[in-house]
Amino acid sequence: MPTSEYAIEAVGLRRSYETRTGWLRPRRLVIEAVRGVSFQVPRGELFGLLGPNGAGKTTTIKMLNTLLLPTSGRASVLGHDVARDPVQVRRRIGYVFGGDKGLYERLSALDNLRYFAELYGVDPREQKARIPEMLEIVGLLGREQERVEGYSRGMRQKLHIARGLLHRPEVLFLDEPSIGVDPVAARELRALVADLAASGITVLLTTHYMAEADELCDRIAVIDHGVIQAEGTPAELKERVRKLDVMEIEVRDSLDEARMDALRRLPGVEQLSVETGDIADTLQVHVRPSDEVQAAVIAALDGVRTRRIVTREPTLEDAYVAIIAQTDDAERTGDAVQVPA
């Protein structure tokens, strides 16, 4: 029987798609969604995979849980190769994704779990104890007779997790489980995920919420353009920008590329990004601690209507933004982005 010190191991994973563009003169294009991803997740770890939309997170997860075959490279879960031994992998994993799909709305939560328990091959005698246990773990015991169509988004996500745990998986993939959930339900989901990891289940989590990743994850990998750009504990990633200050400047006017380039060229400016808002945009500038540097940034915005300027210490979100901005700058300027062979 295969054994491994790692619950999840990916080595040089690649996934390409072939598509067509144009109508009169169609051309075939090959899109590399994942370009040589490698990482290891020890047993019992809560591992975060972070990245912007289209970075390759979900494609990577789908290769790890056997829903997609890698174009090249290899991956294993609990020592079982995802391409050569997919049945053994599926028996040992659970997959929970964000959103409304994957549940039968006209059925009760109890009937949903009974149905999925049958699909997972859970013995009927075990179901009698297992289903109430799952309902209690996710906090839905007492609401199991209600139709799912009347459930809130947070309750649906809890039911998704209960479904993913029915067959006692050793590895759980959580793909943005708290997306669109209200703050109270999101806090309950975070506590639930932490409890699952504490019970010994290996968890791979994707999320867009940096505070969630900072609170939950033992280690984090940041993926962008299909490549792992950084990896480490939340503290290690934050250390990348620890020696910098973050200037947050609300601007009411749009910043053209010439203005952004002028800001990038200022001595002491390391990274900058713009977060679009309904009323005003927020310019975030990572600078070396210096009154002169901050004054130069403000002077470079002469003629731009500003609303608020705040300087603070960096967070995990700032580290993440700096990593992604560095990658985007490399793509924009044409510099080579390091892709594993």
Tens-digit pLDDT profile for residues 177-196: 888 788 888 888 899 899 99
Please report, as a single letter, which amino acid is at residue 58. Answer: T
d(CA 168, CA 152): 25
Flag whether pLDDT at 232 surpasses 70.
Answer: yes
Q: Which of 297, 285, 291 is nearest to 322 (CA)?
A: 285
Residues in contact with 76: Cβ distance below 8 Å, sequence separation at least 6, in sequence order: 2, 4, 6, 8, 9, 82
Pick the CATH number of 243-313 from 3.30.70.260, 3.40.50.620, 3.30.365.10, 3.90.1150.10: 3.30.70.260
Class of domain 6-238: alpha beta
d(CA 70, CA 77): 14
Per the prediction, the chain carries an average pLDDT of 88
d(CA 195, CA 136): 13
- Categorize the per-residue pLDDT at 3 as very low, low, confident or very high, splitting at 50, 70 and 90: low
End-to-end CA distance of the chain: 30
Asked if residue 40 lies in contact with residue 8, where contact means CB atoms within 8 angstroms, the answer is yes
Q: What are the sequence ranges of the domains in the chain? A: 6-238, 243-313
Beta strand residue intervals within 242-295, DSSP E: 245-251, 269-275, 281-287
- Categorize the per-residue pLDDT at 43 as very low, low, confident or very high, splitting at 50, 70 and 90: very high
Residue 11's pLDDT is what?
A: 96
Flag whether pLDDT at 286 surpasses 70.
Answer: yes
Q: What does the longest C-alpha to C-alpha distance in the chain come to?
A: 73
Strands 219-224 and 227-232: antiparallel
Q: Mean pLDDT across the stretch 140-167?
A: 92
Q: pTM of this prediction?
A: 0.82
